[in-house]
Chain A
């Protein structure tokens, strides 16, 4: 279906309407939300930034490949950017499928790939006022020019 980057709260109902289809008996919505702590340290806010054109292209590649791999599967991924307060969703993965098993598998794979392949970064704002980038998964091809 599609992939998107939004700067406001994710409209879950609109995405649900887009993925649903009469031939699909399963619609699976996964929301990744901002947790109130990182390794025990209280967090009040995350700021997400993206290399937008590449992030969009990569998200689209993930949804296209998941749909191509399984018949009748419909996938949409939406990632929110900017400041996301604790408790709100930073990512939505919506999958519709004739049967639930394929939907669970595709949803999991979409999130795993997103975390490894899409150029998006989060910055944590702690309760004590400190701020730090989180850098977790090296993108596939590391340059190492020296």
Chain B
């Protein structure tokens, strides 16, 4: 199956700002995608533990099963709003 990975903030510095397609074996879960991405981008390793992961816009855990065509977002700690 094929998933699209989009990344933001420091994660986008590693993966680039446009989505990347990743091929995975059927039955893969979010944690399997994590391993595949870290293999390809070792700089992700130290930041992975701080990332939240969303599948099609909903936060999920490492055991979440992936399906063909989903969008997986890597979301570092956020900083919206202002300094107020």
Contacts and interface: CB of A to CB of B under 8 A. Distances in A.
A146 B29 CA distance: 12
Interface string A36-54: 0010000000001111011
B84 A135 contact: no
13 contacts: A32-B81, A32-B84, A38-B83, A49-B8, A50-B80, A51-B75, A53-B57, A111-B84, A118-B78, A119-B8, A135-B10, A139-B78, A142-B51
Interface residues of B, number: 32
Interface residues of A, number: 42
Contacts, number: 127
B75 A145 contact: no
Given A118-B80, A121-B9, 9 more contacts: A50-B80, A51-B8, A54-B57, A57-B57, A119-B75, A135-B50, A139-B59, A142-B52, A145-B35
Interface of A is mostly: mixed
Interface string B67-84: 000000101111111111
Q: What are the 5 tightest A-B residue pairs by CB atom distance, in nearest-first order? A: A32-B82, A120-B80, A145-B31, A145-B62, A139-B52
